[in-house]
Amino acid sequence: MTGLFDWERFQKLPLVGILRGFDLAASQQAVRSAAAGGLTTVEITLNSPAATSQIERLRHEFGDRVNVGAGTVCTVEDARLAIQCGATFIVTPIVDGDVIQVCRDADVPAFVGAMTPSEVFQAWKLGAAIVKIFPADALGPTYLQSLRGPLPQISLMPTGGVTVESLASFHRAGAIAFGIGGPLFDAQRIAAQDWDWIQEQTTRFVAAYRAVA
């Protein structure tokens, strides 16, 4: 299954829920709960069990209301396979021009990881739709604000440690999107099948964004 990333859906709620290391059954239920809480974009990292099969299944079940993408994409081969399996966006932790070009050729947005000003600019120059600042909690919102000074034209997405409480600070610093992993898809909560908590936590993140948007 192939298809376009729904930018309108994403712009209304630019929160990317990141599922890393979970099997299909856990990911399916987690996405069901998060979607019930309002989430509209999820990323399945390729170091998850049977990740491409997960992307295909999740896209089939949720594709009419959730953008389903692939994360931790580091090679051209991985990018091509993820796109073939239905990923509507690609997240890579590195600045690799060949991976970005595969995405551009397929009209699939690339969210590219970077940290330094040079990396951020290079990712944008190569065609990144959004530049992922990771790990965001290491330097905090002040660093993001500093990057925005000389590079205001680049869309930044802090990822790593973004919480319900810190989201507003990152937004004030200039973030246009937010990557959210453990603070939303908590491994202990998922292991305990506490799906109500996942839905409620999603609702809290959505409310936190709505309060500053």
Question: Is 43 tagged catalytic?
Answer: yes
Closest alpha carbon to 175 in 153, 148, 157: 157
Vertex 197: Cα angle to 69 and 170 (nearest 5): 60
Residue 163 φ then ψ, to 5°: -115, 170
Measure the CA–CA gap between 5 and 1, rounded to whole angstroms: 13
Residues forming beta bridges with residue 71, ordered by sequence position: 45
Question: Is 132 tagged catalytic?
Answer: yes
How much of the chain is in helix, strand and coil states, percent to nearest 5?
A: 45, 15, 35
Measure the CA–CA gap between 83 and 74, rounded to whole angstroms: 13
- Beta strands 110-114 and 130-133 are parallel
Among 56, 119, 125, 132, the one annotated catalytic: 132
Among 12, 43, 61, 200, the one annotated catalytic: 43
Task: Please give the positions annotated as active site.
Answer: 43, 132
